[in-house]
Amino acid sequence: MMRRLALACIAALLAAFPAMAQQEPIKIGLLAPLTGVVAAGGKDMVDGWNLFWQQHGTKIAGREVEVIVEDDASVPDTALTKARRLVQQRGVHMIVGNLLANTGLAVAEYVKGTGTPYFIPIVAADDLTQRQRIPNVIRVAGFTASQLTRPLAEWALKRGYKNIVTISQDYTFGHEQVGGFVQVFSQGGGKILQQIWHPLNSADYSPYLAQIQSLRPDAVFAMENGADAVRLLDQWSSFGLKGQIPLITTQNSTDQSVIRGMGEQALDIVSAGHFAEGNPAPATKAFVEAYEKAYGKLPAMFSAAMYSGALWIAKAIENVGGDVEDKDKFLAAIRATRIPESPLGPLLLDDYGNPVWDVHIRRVVKREDGKLWNVPFETFPKVSQFWTYDPEEYLKKPPFSRSFQDISK
């Protein structure tokens, strides 16, 4: 009874003073893995996110923005519990973040029921903006795994590579990134000699490297994350394959988080990505400089993506005049927002909630001060998650997996 009375009073107050309701802060829940297997990446995410708000202030359209950070512990079950708390207890207007695909998928499944806007600048699981898309889940400043490797395949074909071996960690993010590559490469007449899938956290690559040597490919395409990437690049070099067989990789394999502490082993490796810390474009350059000044190191892709995501979200909040309570209007504003310049280049979405990116082919080079970074030397403009395929036709195919790589013979 008391509670109902109190609620009625509050409702009456809100109705009487609509302006007062506007003064409530806009609450954004930020989910990041601050503990667990990908905690380092989670730190990069939060750093990039914070940099934006430090630079631009936390007031948009007259309303204060309050960010509530929660640790998803790199575990989907925990991510789900934290998402529940953010929505039900903290009353957030939107959730941003998560790193691992399984944590993102768990949260997406939950917000499907609540309608809470959920933005994923990092989670790359293809189906979130393809076969199983959810209207309130938008890949703001994010990418689908298979999107960025297709231009690299096109580049490799142009470069004259005919026979390729792929090596990748054996999990969905790998299957999807490699799938995008071999799909385009084989359709363009290239041949996939072999696909090597190895378990996560491989200490020893020598059996695979010996196999690669005996296959004599024109190039090797690698997809490795984290410590595995460091180990592969190291062993690739100490096996003497460096300089003998060209190594081309996914964006994450030569990300700052990987090459930061490395030496010559990482030099000259070509990869494809929507971010390149060595990109001379003004917005990217300004971001990289500010980030270096704030944190004393070059930014990883996660940082750039979270920064750009914050930029995108802030712009959309501004466009709706701070009225994030109207979810439909706010989501429409997110979809309609276009930003010509960001650390990741122009920001705009396709009809399926995934950005269209200018994808850079990048090479690891040494900066004047001796630090390694990725510098773009060729750009494929406006690359959609569907490449040149018809979206509806594309969606009829099964998702990439170990057994479905869509290789044309």
Taking the complex as a whole, the smallest distance from the CB of residue 55 to another protein amounts, in Å, to 24
C-alpha–C-alpha distance, residues 359 and 376, integer Å: 9
By beta-carbon proximity to another protein, the closer residue of 151 and 226 is 226
Tokens for 172? 């969905």
Taking the complex as a whole, the smallest distance from the CB of residue 82 to another protein amounts, in Å, to 8
Residues that bind another protein (CB under 8 A): 34-35, 70-71, 75-78, 80-82, 84-85, 88-89, 100-102, 105-106, 109-110, 125, 170-172, 175, 401-403
Question: Does residue 97 contact residue 45 with C-beta atoms inside 8 Å?
Answer: yes
Taking the complex as a whole, the smallest distance from the CB of residue 390 to another protein amounts, in Å, to 26
By beta-carbon proximity to another protein, the closer residue of 77 and 325 is 77
By beta-carbon proximity to another protein, the closer residue of 129 and 279 is 129
By beta-carbon proximity to another protein, the closer residue of 80 and 288 is 80
Neighbour tally for 407: CB within 10 Å: 15
By beta-carbon proximity to another protein, the closer residue of 72 and 154 is 72
Taking the complex as a whole, the smallest distance from the CB of residue 311 to another protein amounts, in Å, to 25
Q: What is the largest CA-CA distance in the chain?
A: 79
Question: 341: burial class by Cβ within 10 Å (0-12, 13-18, 19+)?
Answer: middle
By beta-carbon proximity to another protein, the closer residue of 85 and 133 is 85
By beta-carbon proximity to another protein, the closer residue of 32 and 313 is 32
Give me the sign of the Cα torsion angle 167, 303, 308, 328: positive
Length of the chain in residues, anyone? 409
C-alpha–C-alpha distance, residues 58 and 300, integer Å: 24
Taking the complex as a whole, the smallest distance from the CB of residue 56 to another protein amounts, in Å, to 25
Residue that the structure tokens 């806009």 belong to: 26
Question: Does residue 299 contact residue 373 with C-beta atoms inside 8 Å?
Answer: no
C-alpha–C-alpha distance, residues 122 and 124, integer Å: 6
Tokens for 103? 């944590």
Instruction: Map 176-207 to HEC letters.
Output: HHHHHHHHHHHHCCCEEEEEEEECCCCCCCHH
By beta-carbon proximity to another protein, the closer residue of 353 and 376 is 353
Taking the complex as a whole, the smallest distance from the CB of residue 89 to another protein amounts, in Å, to 4
Question: Does residue 190 contact residue 162 with C-beta atoms inside 8 Å?
Answer: yes
Taking the complex as a whole, the smallest distance from the CB of residue 395 to another protein amounts, in Å, to 17
C-alpha–C-alpha distance, residues 221 and 405, integer Å: 14
Taking the complex as a whole, the smallest distance from the CB of residue 279 to another protein amounts, in Å, to 31
